[in-house]
Amino acid sequence: MVVIPVELAGRSYDVLVGRGLLEQTADKSGHLLRKASVPVVADRNARIHHGVRLENALSAAGHAVHWYDVEPGEAAKSWQGLERLTDWLLAQGVERGDHVIALGGGVVGDLTGFACSILKRGCGFIQVPTTLLSQVDSSVGGKTAINTAAGKNLIGAFHQPSLVLADTTCLDSLPDREMRAGYAEVIKYGILGDADFFDWLADHGPAVLARDDAALAQAVATSVAAKARIVAEDERETSGTRALLNLGHTFGHALEAETGFSDRLLHGEGVALGMVLAARYSARRGLISAADAERVASAIAAVGLPSELNTLGLACDGRTLADHMLHDKKMDAGTLPFVLLKAIGEAFLARDIELADVAEFLDTQLQAA
Ligand SMILES: NC(=O)c1ccc[n+]([C@@H]2O[C@H](COP(=O)([O-])OP(=O)(O)OC[C@H]3O[C@@H](n4cnc5c(N)ncnc54)[C@H](O)[C@@H]3O)[C@@H](O)[C@H]2O)c1
């Protein structure tokens, strides 16, 4: 097991990464669970595959688990979903000093975290992430949110968990496509800030995706450590450091919007293609070499993630995609900061990008042979 501290004044916590942590839930979180009864908010699939493991561990330590089931899918992150969950937590008698456990991917983590941020003005929660994306990204850093008609994650709060238990055996049951989507966020840490990790993934990516114990543990732990460093430096995304985590997300968001935020393109797939576009756009601006941009594209394509815009079958032009970016929540006083590359392993925030130029660039990618 690897312990990665997230250092935040007054709100520090540990992320534990390892195999079989679910069986140790009571040992690892016992100090946070004050009462016999423990509310657990669970993604339905996560509960089917791993609920018994969690329940056995907690009941062996004298706890009674009370389950709240969440249907898989983004729809759960809604006002209605939030209302239903907060009503349930109140009915369970959850108090400010209590902790709620979130078992599932980013959907359950975001929804539960947000509910806990407002329940009685804030109660505790423990993240037990069960997807690769949630283990390396969404469970760490305290961003919580729901979606509204106006867009994704527009209503939310910063509310840090008290503990994260990332049990890599949970990924054994994850569908391959979800595994690859999460891998996009893993490789992101290499591209944005760690060239050695990028090189390591070139050799070990297939083993990570095949859930090889050692490779997976190293990839998750390295990713979490990178995120923990960034969050400790810029918890509320005010200095620009945390914004680097948005590498690939501005292009990706436009692609997700154009495909209707549907299964046609999972978030991680959009980010993967978005990172290729960010790298190629960096090359277009003379920031990196075309060869380096193609190294990024090859690394993404090598694991079966989408790397070519012209293969998505979009019936739109670059202007339409750029227009989606205007609704990006990263818009700041009329400008849209883009995360671009000075090198593989060195991302920066560019604030001088003209959307018309981005639209022209996207046209070249849509039309590429
Ligand atoms: N808070 C943050 O910092 C942050 C960062 C990135 C993404 N997000 C959010 O995270 C969400 C995406 O998270 P996600 O990719 O984990 O998706 P998800 O929570 O929708 O889970 C993906 C699918 O995997 C299934 N699943 C979960 N665990 C499983 C397991 N162990 N075995 C089998 N199936 C399992 C789920 O039922 C679902 O069908 C989005 O809502 C996104 O906005 C938040």
Report the alpha-carbon distance of residue 363 to residue 280 in Å, rounded: 13
Q: What is the CATH number of domain 200-367?
A: 1.20.1090.10
pLDDT at residue 331, as a whole number: 75
Q: Using a 6 Å CB cutoff, which residues line ligand 1?
A: 43, 45-46, 49, 72, 74, 77, 104-108, 110, 130-131, 133-134, 137-138, 141, 143, 152-153, 170, 173-174, 178, 267
Helices H / strands E in the chain, number of each: 13, 11
Q: Is the pLDDT of residue 369 over 70?
A: no
What mean pLDDT is predicted for residues 155-180? 98
Mean pLDDT of the chain: 96
List own/partner pairs for 325-332 with CB under 8 A and 24 or more apart: 325/250, 325/253, 325/254, 325/355, 325/358, 326/355, 327/151, 327/257, 328/250, 328/253, 328/254, 329/151, 329/153, 329/154, 330/243, 330/246, 330/249, 330/250
Please tell me the number of Cα atoms within 13 Å of 265 on its side-chain side.
25
Question: What is the CB neighbour count within 10 angstroms for residue 147?
Answer: 22
Q: Kindly state the average pLDDT of the residues 321-328.
A: 88
- The alpha carbon dihedral of 325, 326, 327, 328 has a sign of positive
Distance of CA 219 to the CA centre of its chain: 14
Residue 184 has pLDDT above 80, yes or no: yes
Nearest CA to ligand 1 atom 6: 138
253-307 pLDDT, tens digit per residue, is 999 999 998 999 999 999 999 999 999 999 999 999 999 999 999 999 999 999 9
Q: Enter the CATH code of domain 2-173.
A: 3.40.50.1970
* Nearest atom (ligand 1) to Cα of 171: 31
Active site residues: 121, 143, 185, 227, 237, 242, 246, 249, 253, 267
Q: Is 197 exposed, middle or buried (0-12, 13-18, 19+ CB in 10 A)?
A: buried
pTM: 0.97
Instruction: Give how far Cα 303 sits from Cα of 42, 58, 215, 296, 298, Å.
Output: 29, 37, 15, 12, 9
> What three-state secondary structure class fits 349?
strand
Q: How far is the CA of 248 from the centre of ligand 1 (A)?
A: 18
Domain edges within the chain: 2-173, 200-367
- pLDDT (tens digit per residue) in 8-66: 999 999 999 999 999 999 999 999 999 999 999 999 999 999 999 999 999 999 999 99
Each residue's pLDDT tens digit, 229-243: 999 999 999 999 999
To which residue do tokens 């993934």 refer? 201
